[in-house]
Amino acid sequence: MPHVVEQASTGRAKCRGCGVAIAKGTWRIGEAVPNMFADGENAEARHWYHPRCAAYRRPDAFLQALEGADAPVDDRAALVAEAQAGLAHHRLPRLDKAERAASGRASCRHCRTPIVKGAWRFTLTFWEDGRFMPAGYLHPACVAGYAETTDGVLARVRHFTPDLSDEDAAAIDVAIAEGAANPLPPGTGAD
Ligand SMILES: [Zn+2]
Ligand SMILES: [Zn+2]
């Protein structure tokens, strides 16, 4: 079953990337994923995404779905570039939301030092066994060392954190840039 791009025939499917329903008539990406609980003709399921959410989170499926399809998806060329960036830097698709640390107990996945309570952090997700799993946190300043690029990082995180204010986004952008100027080395056990 190939990955597809098509116009949503109903408005019922929720995007796996952002959790928001995909409006009827708008373009959506359908990723074919193995269904481990079935065989035969039900051995695959389809996961739906907004095009931008797929470009960020499932770049391989996004690019395959668009290959040879002339679907006039909004911002198609820019989204293709984002997906290609996600393939070139394989940790980029793990970036999720920005939030303030609710406690000081979690350590950064890159530098392995604790993230201070109340400080900004990025949540990470890993794609495992056909679904997204929470995979810890990252200092915004550690993105440069972790993802090996800072291009488009803030736009990605803002996409998945729609309620982030411009002021908070600006503060996070400063931290990302500071980390790029002075990258911290990975701590023991970082991945
Ligand atoms: Zn979405
Ligand atoms: Zn860190």
Cα 55 to ligand 2 centroid, rounded to whole Å: 26
CA atoms of 63 and 93, how far apart (whole Å): 14
Ligand 2 centre from 106 Cα, in Å? 11
The pLDDT value recorded for residue 80 is: 98
Provide the whole-model pTM.
0.93
Q: What is the pLDDT of residue 43?
A: 73
Task: Return the pLDDT at 42.
Answer: 66
Contact 62, 55 (CB under 8 A): yes
Q: How far apart are the C-alpha atoms of 154 and 95, rounded to whole Å?
A: 10
Measured in Å, residue 169 CA sits from the centre of ligand 1 at 20
Q: Quote the ligand 1 centre to 184 CA distance (angstroms).
A: 32
Residues 6+ away with beta carbon under 8 Å from 81: none
- Tell me the β-bridge partners of 34: 44
Beta carbons of 53 and 97 less than 8 angstroms apart: no
pLDDT of residue 190: 79
Strand 131-138 to 27-34 pairing: unpaired
DSSP per position, 81-140: HHHHHHHHSTTGGGEEEEEE-SSS-PBBTTT-SBPPTTSEEEEEEEEETTEEEEEEEE-G
Spans in the chain with pLDDT lower than 50: none
pLDDT at res. 39: 64
